[in-house]
Amino acid sequence: MKEYIVPLVAMGKPRMTRRDKWAKRDCVVRYREFCDLLRHYCQGMPMDPMYLEWIAYFPIPASLSKKKAEELVGQFHRVKPDKDNVDKAIMDALFKQDQRLAVGAQEKRYDDGHGPRIVIRVE
């Protein structure tokens, strides 16, 4: 099983229209940059894997109290972006034919002390 550690904050795929090809909305520009960086960090990934697993670690908001922030370390991330939108962004960025993936697992968590990142495992 190959593992890739991507030092990016995961984002969900935004809803896009044909107009986004010429009207550069900020969310679409950020999404495309995210996809380019994700492909850069995952160079050498098999193009036809059977299994894909990812864990996205999100930063803990600075607005929280120190006590609440300490409680959230490593816990599940249950706010936006949605898990399925993050999954769609990762799959669409890395694979031209993501329908060939048969098995997978996804998790969203708060930072566990090692910084925001995405850990991707493929087989």
DSSP structure string for the chain = -EEEEE-S---PPPP--GGGGTS--HHHHHHHHHHHHHHHHTTT--SS-SEEEEEEEEPPPTTS-HHHHHHHTT-B--SSSPHHHHHHHHHHHH-S-GGG--EEEEEEEE--SS-SEEEEEE-
**pLDDT confidence band for 54 (50 / 70 / 90):** very high
Average pLDDT over residues 95-123: 92
CATH number, domain with residue 87: 3.30.1330
Q: What is the pTM of this model?
A: 0.92
Domain enclosing residue 106, as ranges: 2-122
Overall domain count for the chain: 1
pLDDT at residue 52, as a whole number: 93
**What average pLDDT does the structure give for the chain?**
93
